[in-house]
Amino acid sequence: MDIVLIGSGNTATVIGRKSIAAGHRILQVYSRNGNHANLLANRLGATSTTYISTIERKADLMIIALRDKAIRPFAEALGPIQYTAVHTAGAIPTSDISGISPSHGALYPLQSLRKEIEHMPPLTILLDGNNTGTRSHIKAFATTIAESLLEADDNTRLKYHLAATLVNNFTNHLFAMAASFCEKENISFTVLQPLMEETVLRLRTVSPLETQTGPAIRNDLVTLRKHRDLLKAYPVILSFYEKFSEEIQKTALSFKL
């Protein structure tokens, strides 16, 4: 397919690279930042533009990979085109781009994407279209760049987006707090890497409730007190520790019942 790529950030870069690897052609990259647009366009063998008025009007697919708050303003500024348009957001309804094209939908990659990482991670894509023909068209493209596909309407994508925030963004923040604690206490965060990896890997076969361990679920009051004493110098981490310990104990009790 001939593709017009809107955006030059993490999602645009990874989807652009995946598209080229799958044999598609990126015609043009649009970004408000000219340097970013040029860099990505050069990498993908495309032209670039910073002007909405010069965006290509003939293509097979427009992929709008912008920040959520920028999608509707872009759509309103662009006006109508005669080919399929999709956005890549999990929490934005497809109706936000309905004015662009009679064929529109969503192509949401359920993955943490970073443009500077050369390794391209496997993609699960949640897709939708405003009619059967549009969904088929989007699916035909998505099949070539993703390892797994799921048709998902606006409400379903939003639910997955929330769940992804919990397992990725929130978990990563806990990693960041642990890394900060390790640095300040002069111990190695790297030593924890095998533990973090095993915690995730075991979820392939066992549910999170069944794999929960630690002093909270054991009601180990002595260790809990020692941890709290150690965290008195870190009130933010202590507040997380208290809340998580409380919730783990409540969940453990309800699970037993």
DSSP for 138-162, written as a single string: HHHHHHHH-SEEEE--HHHHHHHHH
In the predicted model, what is the mean pLDDT of the chain? 95
C-beta neighbour count of 132 within 10 angstroms: 8
**Statement to judge: residues 173 and 147 lie in one domain:** no
Q: pLDDT value at position 176? A: 97
**Statement to judge: residues 129 and 61 lie in one domain:** yes
pLDDT tens figures, 143-181: 999 999 999 999 999 999 999 999 999 999 999 999 999
- 243 CB-near residues (< 8 Å, 6+ apart): none
- The predicted model gives 226-241 an average pLDDT of 97
Q: Is the pLDDT of residue 108 over 80?
A: yes
Look at residue 51 and give its three-state secondary structure. Answer: coil
* Number of domains comprising the chain: 2
∠ Cα 194 197 203 (to 5°): 140
d(CA 109, CA 150): 10
**Statement to judge: residues 169 and 228 lie in one domain:** yes
- 132 CB-near residues (< 8 Å, 6+ apart): none
**Statement to judge: residues 248 and 205 lie in one domain:** yes
**Statement to judge: residues 24 and 132 lie in one domain:** yes
- The predicted model gives 95-117 an average pLDDT of 94
**Which of 121, 152, 183 lies at the terminal end of a domain, its last residue?**
152
Q: Is the pLDDT of residue 256 over 70?
A: no
Which helix (H) or strand (E) is 104 found in, with range?
strand 104-109
Q: pLDDT value at position 116? A: 87
**Statement to judge: residues 182 and 113 lie in one domain:** no
- 228 CB-near residues (< 8 Å, 6+ apart): 238, 241, 242
Q: Is the pLDDT of residue 257 over 60?
A: no
Q: List the single range of 7-16, 30-39, 191-200, 205-214 with lowest mean pLDDT.
A: 205-214
**Statement to judge: residues 136 and 164 lie in one domain:** no
Q: List the single range of 45-54, 117-126, 141-150, 235-244 with lowest mean pLDDT.
A: 117-126
**Statement to judge: residues 66 and 175 lie in one domain:** no
**Statement to judge: residues 111 and 177 lie in one domain:** no
**Statement to judge: residues 23 and 99 lie in one domain:** yes
Domain limits for position 241:
159-256
Tell me the CATH number at 71.
3.40.50.720
Q: Residue 252's pLDDT band (boundaries 50, 70, 90)?
A: confident
- The predicted model gives 222-245 an average pLDDT of 97
Tell me the CATH number at 209.
1.10.1040.20
**Statement to judge: residues 108 and 132 lie in one domain:** yes
| Structure tokens given for 126 | 């949640």
**Which of 152, 179, 212 lies at the terminal end of a domain, its last residue?**
152
| CA 34 to mean position of chain CA atoms | 25
pLDDT tens figures, 44-99: 999 999 999 999 999 999 999 999 999 999 999 999 999 999 999 999 999 999 99
**Which of 122, 152, 182 lies at the terminal end of a domain, its last residue?**
152
For 192, counting Cβ atoms within 10 Å of its Cβ (0-12 exposed, 13-18 middle, 19+ buried), the class is middle
| CA 220 to mean position of chain CA atoms | 37
**Statement to judge: residues 141 and 182 lie in one domain:** no
